[in-house]
Structure 1
């Protein structure tokens, strides 16, 4: 077995060497990132994340295209790691003009848009209450001395006094965000927040330091598309598969942060106008900048296979299985160069869905066979078999089907989390 695995790894390495030059951009453009704050001691760990996207309203109405002016945006996120301090990451990655954050707070969440009395903390940026983020930039706040436990929810409130223009955001949050006119960043009550939508704006991360997990580099990034993003799961219930995985790890006495870097509709090799930059372009920005991470679960490719068809208003060029494999190998190489372990995942069933066709099923089958047998990854998780109907393995088991025969129900996402070998993490 060890000789076979070595041979497979060598074959994968040879294919990677032959394809990398055609897949990587000819020039690398780094996203400007600054760490505003007093604590840059390296003890920070990612506790929650969302991958940024350019403004779009393809499927879900949201506020990204018009942006904000003299408005307060309140967003609720659940962290998967504990700490004695926390800080937030804000991004203007896809903005075309500087973004002025007039003020921001963080607090423990109460009900809806309300927060717990006595927990509101004003956020500072290099000691100042306001900050301007340049177009294309990302920054972190100073530390807020608000202890947080894993699986607690935090409410981040941003006051945006000037016109922002189109907003960098995350489209499929499966969580409610709130908006109020005027400055309500310090409100405990949520009564001023009379509008809501399911998306996150400018907020791309929450980090923690201190506490029981201080000094540990054992976080997990789940990287992928809408199934990683949690499309089809119950809103505001935190039942995406990365959430379920974090809960499973904690229940097993092996707590660690699990960060969700899925984007609905995302592809490995094609950029899209509505579903984010390709994995090849965003992996370094979204994953390799995360502090405290040890492992990446790489689960993406079904939109490459189906994205050239009529399912969406913006079809992308057809992607061959070989090109999809080459894309995965590039991501594995980049992760390994940063010392990260990579778990490859098979693609889940599509029969009966908007991607269902003999050609697409043949591609999915061929790619999954490569994932299972190539030896390209440090480990493999068979998500395909975890949620397939045993009587019809080309289909999602009805109990796991969110209704469109491709996205999963809460039970289906729990099945994905249950398929991962905790020892491999």
Structure 2
């Protein structure tokens, strides 16, 4: 949750419950069939084709202006004769990779002139000799229709677990408004002109904390035939509010590290959106979770399990007075539970295991969020997640973060300065509460 008056990128400490506090020559017009989402795990792969899993990913949102709270972004203006370099950390490695680009919220075809991927050398730098040109159906460029996405061809760049990569996109003409992810704990860089293979970062003179058009990095070539993807789906707890920028200490980062240390054949994708709700859309915090679930979870390749943390923003929205939230009706536990049931049914219909995460303690937030009625709703939803048996297993975020003295409050050492979101110790506690065998 959050108020539009909060300033996470300035470390002011006010941010939403699930909003965030810290502070893409020759064009190939791709047919609708070519740009369709990958089939989920319910469809068998061709025997000769590689088995892809999502090693990194993000949930995309409609363009929205930057603000004092969230910092500047380039989503509304888009790009023209500019290169955009974005840094991501893959959860696990493989012998080949491809990227996925989204024009989900575009109103015109998105023309990408060129794209490269390489190993990050810090900031906007790429390790010399590692930048590889990516192709799309054999061509350097591509056009993605409005509302569609597109995966690049496979590139034989081997990756290691927890390695950082740079993805650089060049737009010769105007891209139009950018489908993007608004809040990240990483930095993206922009340069005038074509700088796809520059190892240095000198040309990239401006930056933001958002991702543009890039929605996934997928890998193949794992030694394990049982490899699959775990998608963390929800609000700012998943998105990483409260995490230190650039430090890779979000809950999903900690979970990926546990998985790597345990030699589990699993990738982790973060599909959280700060401020997201399960029952209602909002102008700044994404489509409601029940509407975006297929795109952001089920249509990713190799998805095996989804972890769901949602409902806190629905409960808190009436208290927040945030115009960026849009409609903020008071909701009941019954409404939230019915939406959770819908997500679980959709996951199970695609053969995906669903893990329910209880809603984190909200009473200690240092901005308008808590109410006695809202706490009753939170308690009822958490009780249902724990006891109903609808979810395949439970991640008890509430108990992992709660104060022993007052369960409605978070443990003081586990929260960021906004009094709500987990800091590094809190993210570690939540990750430690995950039963890896249940994934």
Q: TM-score, normalised by structure 1?
A: 0.89
The match for 2:339 is: 327
CA 1:407 to 1:68, structure 2 compared with 1: closer, same or farther past 3 Å? same
Instruction: State the 1:253 CA deviation.
Output: 2.8
1:62 aligns with 2:41: no
1:304-323 correspondence to structure 2 within 5 Å: 304-313=314-323, 314-323=326-335
The match for 1:390 is: 404
1:220 aligns with 2:234: no
Instruction: State the 1:40 CA deviation.
Output: 7.8
The match for 2:363 is: 351
The match for 2:18 is: none
The match for 2:378 is: 364
Instruction: State the 1:357 CA deviation.
Output: 1.2
Match of 2:53 among 34, 45, 51: 45
Instruction: State the 1:410 CA deviation.
Output: 1.1
CA 1:361 to 1:40, structure 2 compared with 1: closer, same or farther past 3 Å? farther
1:241-280 correspondence to structure 2 within 5 Å: 241-280=251-290
Distance, in Å, in 1 between the alignment partners of 2:196 and 2:228 is 34
Kept in 2, the 8 Å contact 1:246–1:255? The answer is no
Answer with 272-281 or 51-60: which moved more.
Answer: 51-60
CA 1:302 to 1:199, structure 2 compared with 1: closer, same or farther past 3 Å? same
Distance, in Å, in 2 between the alignment partners of 1:33 and 1:206 is 16
Match of 1:336 among 348, 369, 375: 348
Match of 1:150 among 148, 161, 170: 161
1:138-287 correspondence to structure 2 within 5 Å: 138-213=149-224, 215-287=225-297
Give the SS at the match of 2:257: helix
Instruction: State the 1:292 CA deviation.
Output: 1.5
Distance, in Å, in 2 between the alignment partners of 1:398 and 1:66 is 41
1:402 aligns with 2:416: yes
| Aligned length, in residue pairs | 393
Instruction: State the 1:212 CA deviation.
Output: 2.2
Give the SS at the match of 1:295: strand
CA 1:378 to 1:172, structure 2 compared with 1: closer, same or farther past 3 Å? same
Distance, in Å, in 2 between the alignment partners of 1:89 and 1:68 is 18
Kept in 2, the 8 Å contact 1:223–1:260? The answer is yes
Answer with 347-356 or 128-137: which moved more.
Answer: 347-356
CA 1:322 to 1:133, structure 2 compared with 1: closer, same or farther past 3 Å? same
CA 1:284 to 1:34, structure 2 compared with 1: closer, same or farther past 3 Å? closer
Distance, in Å, in 2 between the alignment partners of 1:283 and 1:227 is 17
CA 1:31 to 1:277, structure 2 compared with 1: closer, same or farther past 3 Å? farther
1:373 aligns with 2:387: yes
Distance, in Å, in 1 between the alignment partners of 2:144 and 2:157 is 24
Q: Any stretches of 5+ residues in structure 2 without a counterpart? A: 1-32, 39-45
CA 1:218 to 1:230, structure 2 compared with 1: closer, same or farther past 3 Å? same
Distance, in Å, in 2 between the alignment partners of 1:243 and 1:39 is 33
Distance, in Å, in 1 between the alignment partners of 2:290 and 2:37 is 23
Q: TM-score, normalised by structure 2?
A: 0.87
